[in-house]
Every structure is written in C-alpha cells, then in structure tokens.
Structure 1
Amino acid sequence: MSRRQLFGSLCAMVFLVNLGRVIYAPLLPPLQQAFGVTEATLGLLTALAWFGSASPRFLAGYLLTRTSRMVVILGAGVVLTGAALLAAVAPSVEALLVGAFCMGLASGPYFIAAAPLVSELFPGNVGRALGLHGAASQFAAVGAAPLVVAVLAVGSWRATFHVIAVATALVTLALFLVGRRTPLPSVGQADRDLLGAARAQWRIIVSGIALVSLTGFVWNGVFNFYVLYMIQAKGFAEPTANTMLTVLFAAGIPAFVVGGDLAERLPTVPFVISISVSFALGLLALTSVSNLLAVVALTVVVGFVIHCLFPAVDTYMLATVPGEHRASTYAVFSGTMMLPQAGGSVAFGVLRDAGLSWDAIASGAALGLLLVMGALVGLYVDGRLPTTGAAVEQ
C-alpha cells in the first residue's frame, strides 16, 4: 500500500512539473498583449521552459550516483515552487524568460529521478506504470488552458503562477512525508558510474535519440503555437482556439496508457517509428482543412498519436537496460534528446516572423519528419537499431 501511496504522490508532482512547462502556451496571447513582444520572442519564452528542462539532466544523472531518487525529486519540488513565484512577480519580459527557464529547470531532475523509480516500483508492469505516470502528467497539459481561462476571468496572468507555487509546496511536503515511510527498491543502488553506463549503453542511447528527437522538435513547435495557429490560420476565436489546445492534450490521456501497454506487447522500434509516421501524416492532413469538425477530428488524432510516443520510448529505454545502468542511461538519453526538441518553438517562431504561413511551416516539418523516419526504417531492417540494452559485465 505504501508504494501505491508514493506512486499517487509522484503522479501529483508530475502533474505540477509538467504544468510548469506547458502553462506558457495558453498564456501567449495575454503575455503578448502585456509585454508587446513578437512571435519570435514568444517562441523563445516557451522554448526556455524546455531548454530549462533539458539542461540539468546530466547533472541530475550524476547526482543520482551520489544520492537517492527521493532527494532529487524533493529538490525539484522546491525549485519549481521558487521559480513559479519568480514568474509571478516578473516586472519585464526578460525576467519572465528567466522564470520560464527556472520552471523548466525543475522538471528535468524530476523526470530523471522519477521515471526509473516508477519502473522499479512496478517491475512486472513497467510500460503500464510509466503510462499511468505519463497520463497524470498529461492531465496538466489538458488543464493548462482551462486553468488560464479561469484565472484570467477573476485576476491577471500572474495569479496562474501563484497557484502553481502554492500547489507545488503542498505536494512536495506530502511527498516528503510519504517517502519517509516507504521502503524504496534497492535495484538502482549499484548505478554509480554515469560515464561507464553511457559507454556501455551508447548504442541504445543513440538509437533512442534518433527515434524521438526530430518528432519532439516538431511537436514542441506545434503545441506551443497551437492557439495562435488556430486563431491566425484557421480563423477561430481565442476561446475556441484554447479549446483546441485542450482537445489536443486531452487526447493524450488515454494515449499514455495505450502507448505504454502496446510498448510491452509490440516490437518497440517499429512501434515508435509508426507513431512518428502517423503523427506526421496527421499534421499534413491538419494543414489542408479549416472546417471546425475536421479540425477537431484531426486534433484528436494528432494529440492521441504523439502522446503514445513518450511511454513507448521510455519503455524502450527503461525496460531493456539493466538496473545497474538504468538511471544513468536514462539521464544521458533524456538530457541529450531534449536539447534539439526544445528548439522547436524557436524555429517555428522565427519562420513565422520571416513571413511563412503556419500551414507551410507545419507541412514542411511533417514532410521532413517522414523523410527521417524512412531512413530509420532502412536502418532497422538492416539491423542497425538495437532492440535491447547491453548486458552488465560481471
């Protein structure tokens, strides 16, 4: 029972750390009005949350060779609380950029510590456990736009960050209390050599990065600008555009569970490639329609497909690597693949400022993704993409 209570507390925390990364997307219209900035600056704002998430992951992996998973997770809660308070009082867009980076900074160590812990709490159902944990994270993405709408109805955008700060402080305290009385798995205690694990597992790390980085790059640009895309390209009013963002993320709640389950049952590499191909095709179809019902239907498809990717890739990295290398391998993989992903919204914003239409940007990104996936299919057929991690030398 104590493990289930700990898992429940982790689900509450992952909701908040992901909320800290995605809250800026529905806030872009009021922030643009408040600070009078261009779309390129807005792209930088959303990107900094993701750069912040990527940047401490190697350090977090090193910390996990010296301290426990729970210490890192609690530290992430403290950082998110402080960063949300900083964003709430930001007097300028420059200060808000710092706040966005710091809010992202909290999520990186959390995921590096929590994902291996979740896989070790339920070793017989790694994919399902990661899927449920991911679904809890996805509730934050679903709730981001409604939260912003509710807060703006009674106050300013700054109140959004006050809510996040208070909630995170309370959940961090709850995690501390539950974690103190829960016996933690010992399988990861032998993971004490970050570089050694990276050298031993480099093939699966490189493979994972190749499978997910470009897809994540395109997805980062799509969801961060989805509200503006719906307003400027599809002609929807702002409330409808915010609803589309909610639908995009809501489709991901069942997708995390389905993706985790299927990753346990299907050959993982072909499954991951098929997800990226389906995402690209859905995005291409979205650029060619403007009717509300068609946009809603394709938004559901794109949202569901892309969110199957994350538990599938995590299962690929965590279920196939020995416990002695699990956290370190995941840290190196996660920190590396996040860096190119984080630039997606910057690229979309710069291309938009250069005069390209939203549909042209999205369709070009989708076609590029299809070309890369075709190359990965060839590598897989040729046996160059590993399906398991390397065994630990005794």
Structure 2
Amino acid sequence: MTRRQLFGSLCAMVFVVNLGRVVFAPLLDPLRAALTVDAAAVGLLASLVWVGSAVPRIPTGYLLTRVPRHYVVFATGATLTGATALASVAPGIRALQAAALLMGAAGGAYFIAANPLVSELFPSRVGAALGVHGTAAQLAAVGAPLFVTAVLARGRWPLTFRIMAAITAVATVLFTVVAWRTDLPAAGTEDRHLLVAVREQWRLILAGVVMLGATGFVWQGVFNFYPTYLAETKSLSESTARTALSVVFGAGVPAMALSGRLADRLDILRYILALLGGFVVVLLALTTVSGLAAVVAVSLVLGYVIHSLFPAMDTYLLGSLPDRHRASAYAAYSGTMMFVQAGGSYAVGFLRDARVPFDVIFRTFAGGLVVVLLALLVAHRLGRLPRGARE
C-alpha cells in the first residue's frame, strides 16, 4: 500500500469522526421535543461532545510518545463505533449525554493522532495535505443536516446513530487494513517527552490557544444553535434553517481545500489575523440581515471564513513544529484550546433560558472577540507573537 492510499483511508476516518462531532447540531430541536427537555439540557448535550473532544487530547499526546499513531487511530474508530451504538439505545437525556461525551472523546483523540500523521506523510505540503483532510471532515459537516432530515423522515432519532455506528465500523476496518500494509513515516519516533516539548514550545502553544480558543467558543455557540436561531429570529422554517446550516458547512469545503494551500504560501500570522477579523465582521452582519437571500449569502461567507481558519491554524503549528515535539506540543495546544471553546453551546443555551435574545448574545460574543483580536494585533506589532516553533 502507498502513503496516498493510507491518506485516503484517513480521509474516510475523519469523515465519520467529524460526523460524530457535528450531528447533534441539527438534532437539538428534535431531541428537545422527543425527550421533553429544555434548551440548556440540549445545549449541554452539544457542549459535552466538545468537552469530550478536549479531555483526551493531552493524554493522547503522552500516549503517542509510547504508541504508534495508527494504533491510536484504530482505537478511536472502535470507541466511536461503540459510542454511537450506545447513543442509538439511550433511554433518556442523561444516557445520551454520556454517549455524546464518548463520541467527542473518540474524535479528540483521533485528531491528535491523525493530524501529525497527515503532516508527516507529506512534509513538503503540510498545509495542502491538512486542507484535503479537513475537506473530508467538512463534507461530513455539510451532509449532517441533510442526513438527519432524511433519517427523521423515515424513522426516529435513534436510527441516526445506528447508521453512524455501521459506517464507522466499516471505515475503521478499512483504515486498519491499509495501515498494516503501508510503510509508515518514522518522524514521530523522535517525539518522546511531552513536558519537554511543552516547555520549549509554550509560546507557540499559547498563541494558538488564544487565537482559536475564544473564536471556537463563539463558533460552538453559533453553529450548534444555528437552525434554532434562524427559525426564531429570521422566521425561517425548521427545514430551511437546517438547510442554511448545510450552506454554512458547505462553504467550508472549498475553504478547507484552498486555505491549506494559502497557508503554505502567505505570511501565516497576517493570514490568521485577517480571518479572525473577518469572522467578527460576518458574525455581526448575521445579526443585522433579514430575508432568505441575505441570510444564505451571509451564511456562505461565515462558513468560508471560519473554516478557512482551521487548516491555517494547524499549518501554523504542525508546519513549523520539529519532529521531536510535533505530536506532544500539538496535543497540549489542541487539548487546552478545546477546553476553552467547549462551553460555547452551554453558554448560549443558558442565556437563551434566561430569555436573552440571540442577537444580543452573538453581538456580545463578537465584542469579546474584538478585544482578543486587538490584543493579538498589538502583540504582533510588538513582535511578541511567535512566527513558528522554536527549533
């Protein structure tokens, strides 16, 4: 087997992994009705996926100093299969929240193992490879609302997770067979000391956490409640609102592919800061527009900007981290950043139960991001933002 075939199997894996992370967004309203729970409860359900995604990241980074990357990828696939099977038989919200936590944990561990592996498969084209890998993940996000709508038209919500369990099992077996037959890169064998990596690369790790942590917190709250927001505030039907969420994720498909290539070519810090500023502007625009055409147009731009940020951030770190620190430092960054952003959905749900209007919530969040962005711009101007890892 070739490295391209292994990369193809990783793209299949990331599709099912990301489907497990985003499938709850279009399911929040149906679950709230079926389980007779409030907005905070379903908001917590969505947040638990991302809390679960944060929890194993640093431990996985340590595990990767002892265990080959492809072993961990296999374990994440097996865990996700079991978690989705558990979700399909969950009798109530508590059991479903436990399953969501496990689904998130499987996804978090996957990205810590797989992203460094992808960067090592194609060391001269890190951004491009991460962009294609991210595009495969984004296709799952695009399809999630349509998938949920199709399943709910034929059955109840547990069928969603039964189907997911089956396709995850198939993707995991495919990856395992290909990995066994492929000559894997040896770069990761030098990464054996997590704390040493963190101590030497803490400036880059901190910069990444600040850049994506606050932005991710806002994005979690926005996209998990996007259909609800559009239905309540923009007077769209539930099915149209779910389709608009697909538009947001759909714009991420070309964004992932193009942004990875741009990250290989542009001044990476300026590019990231421009994307952060663009996200604030488009989020504010979302709270002011009305009418289907305007909402769809803003959704397209919003999806493109935010999804361009993810491969750019991964390229910023993985493209500059040396072999001996790559997985460990990336795990420390990713795990800390995910904890920061994980509460976004719960925060929005809590504020909505307190009857705070969606537009007020999103404008306040945008104001907070302006403060973060100004601080980053000042640090960049003063030369305090690291341009890459310490060799």
Task: Please classify the TM superposition score into its range, dividing by the shorter chain length.
Answer: over 0.9
Corresponding residue for 1:123?
123
The one-letter amino acid of 2:331's match is: A
Give the 3-state SS of the residue equivalent to 2:90 in structure 1: coil
For 1:274-326, what per-residue CA distance to the aligned partner results, in whole angstroms no more than 9, with x for missing partners? 11110110010110111110100000000000000000000000011101110
- 1:16-27 to structure 2, matched below 5 A, reads 16-27=16-27
Corresponding residue for 2:101?
101
Give the 3-state SS of the residue equivalent to 2:210 in structure 1: helix
For 1:199-220, what per-residue CA distance to the aligned partner results, in whole angstroms no more than 9, with x for missing partners? 0111100111111111111000
Fraction of identical pairs, as percent = 54
Gaps of 5+ in 2: none
Give the Å deviation of 1:164: 0.8
Matched, 1:9 2:9: yes
Corresponding residue for 1:196?
196
In structure 2, how many angstroms separate the alpha carbons of the residues matched to 1:372 and 1:354? Answer: 26
The one-letter amino acid of 2:46's match is: T
Corresponding residue for 2:140?
140
In structure 1, how many angstroms separate the alpha carbons of the residues matched to 2:364 and 2:292? Answer: 23
Give the Å deviation of 1:225: 0.2
Corresponding residue for 1:62?
62
| Coordinate RMSD, CA, aligned | 0.7
For 1:163-219, what per-residue CA distance to the aligned partner results, in whole angstroms no more than 9, with x for missing partners? 110111111111111001100000110100011100011110011111111111100
In structure 1, how many angstroms separate the alpha carbons of the residues matched to 2:23 and 2:211? Answer: 27
Corresponding residue for 2:179?
179
Corresponding residue for 1:28?
28
Matched, 1:244 2:247: no
Give the 3-state SS of the residue equivalent to 1:251 in structure 2: helix
In structure 1, how many angstroms separate the alpha carbons of the residues matched to 2:59 and 2:237? Answer: 43
Give the 3-state SS of the residue equivalent to 1:123 in structure 2: coil
In structure 1, how many angstroms separate the alpha carbons of the residues matched to 2:155 and 2:210? Answer: 44
In structure 2, how many angstroms separate the alpha carbons of the residues matched to 1:104 and 1:20? Answer: 7
- 1:36-55 to structure 2, matched below 5 A, reads 36-55=36-55
For 1:221-258, what per-residue CA distance to the aligned partner results, in whole angstroms no more than 9, with x for missing partners? 00000010011111111110010000010000000111
In structure 2, how many angstroms separate the alpha carbons of the residues matched to 1:290 and 1:205? Answer: 39
Higher mean C-alpha deviation, range 300-309 or range 270-279 = 270-279
Give the Å deviation of 1:25: 0.5
The one-letter amino acid of 1:106's match is: A
Give the 3-state SS of the residue equivalent to 2:46 in structure 1: helix
Corresponding residue for 1:229?
229
Give the 3-state SS of the residue equivalent to 2:383 in structure 1: coil
In structure 2, how many angstroms separate the alpha carbons of the residues matched to 1:227 and 1:291? Answer: 15
In structure 1, how many angstroms separate the alpha carbons of the residues matched to 2:109 and 2:21? Answer: 13
Matched, 1:91 2:72: no
In structure 1, how many angstroms separate the alpha carbons of the residues matched to 2:345 and 2:222? Answer: 7
In structure 1, how many angstroms separate the alpha carbons of the residues matched to 2:173 and 2:60? Answer: 21
The one-letter amino acid of 2:235's match is: G
The one-letter amino acid of 1:135's match is: T
Corresponding residue for 2:269?
269
Corresponding residue for 2:366?
366
In structure 2, how many angstroms separate the alpha carbons of the residues matched to 1:382 and 1:351? Answer: 37
Give the Å deviation of 1:161: 0.3
In structure 1, how many angstroms separate the alpha carbons of the residues matched to 2:92 and 2:239? Answer: 26
Give the Å deviation of 1:30: 1.0
In structure 1, how many angstroms separate the alpha carbons of the residues matched to 2:40 and 2:340? Answer: 17
Q: List, as ranges, runs of 4+ consecutive aligned residues in structure 1 with deviation greater than 6 Å.
A: none
In structure 2, how many angstroms separate the alpha carbons of the residues matched to 1:161 and 1:353? Answer: 28
Q: TM-score, normalised by structure 2?
A: 0.99
In structure 1, how many angstroms separate the alpha carbons of the residues matched to 2:48 and 2:388? Answer: 33
Matched, 1:316 2:316: yes
Give the Å deviation of 1:363: 1.2
Give the Å deviation of 1:370: 1.4
For 1:88-107, what per-residue CA distance to the aligned partner results, in whole angstroms no more than 9, with x for missing partners? 00001110000111110100
In structure 2, how many angstroms separate the alpha carbons of the residues matched to 1:3 and 1:313? Answer: 24
Corresponding residue for 2:217?
217
In structure 2, how many angstroms separate the alpha carbons of the residues matched to 1:2 and 1:155? Answer: 41
In structure 1, how many angstroms separate the alpha carbons of the residues matched to 2:48 and 2:230? Answer: 23
Gaps of 5+ in 1: none
For 1:117-142, what per-residue CA distance to the aligned partner results, in whole angstroms no more than 9, with x for missing partners? 00010111100000000000001100
In structure 2, how many angstroms separate the alpha carbons of the residues matched to 1:32 and 1:114? Answer: 34
Give the Å deviation of 1:71: 0.3
The one-letter amino acid of 2:174's match is: A
Give the 3-state SS of the residue equivalent to 1:179 in structure 2: helix
In structure 2, how many angstroms separate the alpha carbons of the residues matched to 1:293 and 1:370? Answer: 27
